[in-house]
Chains A and B, each alone.
Chain A
Amino acid sequence: MEEKDIYDVRKLLCRITYSLIFASLLYHFYSYQWIYFVGHQPYYYFGEDLTYWLFFMSGFPQLIISAKWLALTLDLSSVALCLLIIIRPKFVWAARLFFVLYFVNFLLINALAGHHAHFLVGILLICIPFLTTKNISFYFLWKGLRYLTLFIYSCAFLWKLLRGTWILKGQGLAILQSNVASYLYFNPDTHLAHFYYYFLSHPGLFTILYALGLLLEAIFVIGFFTEKYDYFLFAAAILFHTLTFIFVDVFFAELLILNLTFIKFKNFSERSISASVICKNNNAER
Chain B
Amino acid sequence: MLKQTYLYRLYHYNKKLFYGITLFAGLTIFCNVVGWQITPFFVWSMFSAREQPAETYDVLQIKINKQVFDYTKGQRDINRFFINYPLNYAISLYNRNYVDPPNFHVLKKYLPGVYNSVATRYPEFIYQQVNLKSFMSWYADYLSRVLKIKITSVEVDQVAVHYLKSGQLQPVKTDTLVHLSIR
Using a CB–CB distance below 8 Å, which chain A residues touch chain B?
27-28, 31-33, 37-38, 40-43, 45-53, 56-57, 106-107, 112-118, 121, 124-125, 136-137, 140-141, 143-144, 147-148, 151-153, 155-156, 159-160, 163-165, 168, 170-171, 173-175, 177-178, 181-188, 196-201, 217, 244-245, 248-251, 253, 270-271, 273, 278, 281-282, 285
Residues of B within 8 A of A46 (CB): 103-104, 125
Beta-carbon contacts of B8-19 to A below 8 Å, as 1s and 0s? 011011100100
Of B54, B71, B78, the contact of A178 (CB 8 Å cutoff)? B54
CA distance A11 to B151 in the complex (A): 48
Give chain A nearest CB distance to B58 CB in angstroms: 8
B78 touches A27 (CB 8 A): yes
Query: Is A171's CB under 8 angstroms from B51's CB?
Result: yes
B103 touching A48, Cβ below 8 Å: yes
Is the CB–CB distance between A41 and B44 below 8 Å?
no
In the complex, how many residues of chain B place their beta carbon closer than 8 angstroms to a beta carbon of chain A? Answer: 81
Q: Is the CB of A278 within 8 A of B13?
A: yes
User: Is chain A's binding surface mostly helix, strand, loop or mixed?
Assistant: helix
Tell me whether B45 and A156 are in contact (CB under 8 A): yes
7 contacts between A and B (CB under 8 A): A41-B142, A51-B38, A57-B122, A140-B21, A155-B45, A159-B32, A185-B161
Q: How far is the CB of B133 from chain A (nearest CB, A)?
A: 11
Judge whether B145 is part of the interface by a CB distance below 8 angstroms.
yes
| CA distance in complex: A53, B135 (Å) | 21
Q: Closest CB of chain A to B89's CB: distance in Å?
A: 3
* 3 tightest A-B CB contacts, nearest first: A114-B89, A200-B167, A197-B167
B72-A270 in contact (CB<8A)? no
Residues of B within 8 A of A163 (CB): 48-50
In angstroms, Cα B78 to Cα A250, docked, is: 9
> Which residues of chain B (1-36) have a CB below 8 Å from chain A?
4-6, 9-10, 12-14, 17, 21, 25, 28, 32, 36
Given A37-B145, A116-B37, A168-B50: A177 in contact with B57 (beta carbons within 8 A): yes
Contacts of A245 in B (CB 8 A): 77
Residue pair A33, B53 in contact (C-beta under 8 Å): no
Contact B106 A48 (CB under 8 A): yes
- Determine whether the beta carbon of A114 is less than 8 Å from that of B145: no
Q: In the complex, how many angstroms separate the beta carbon of B134 from the nearest chain A beta carbon?
A: 6
- Report whether A199 and B13 are in contact in the complex, using a CB–CB cutoff of 8 Å: no
B180 at the interface (CB under 8 A from A): no
Does B113 sit at the interface, judged by CB under 8 A? no
* Contacts of B108-125 to chain A: CB distance below 8 A: 118, 122, 125
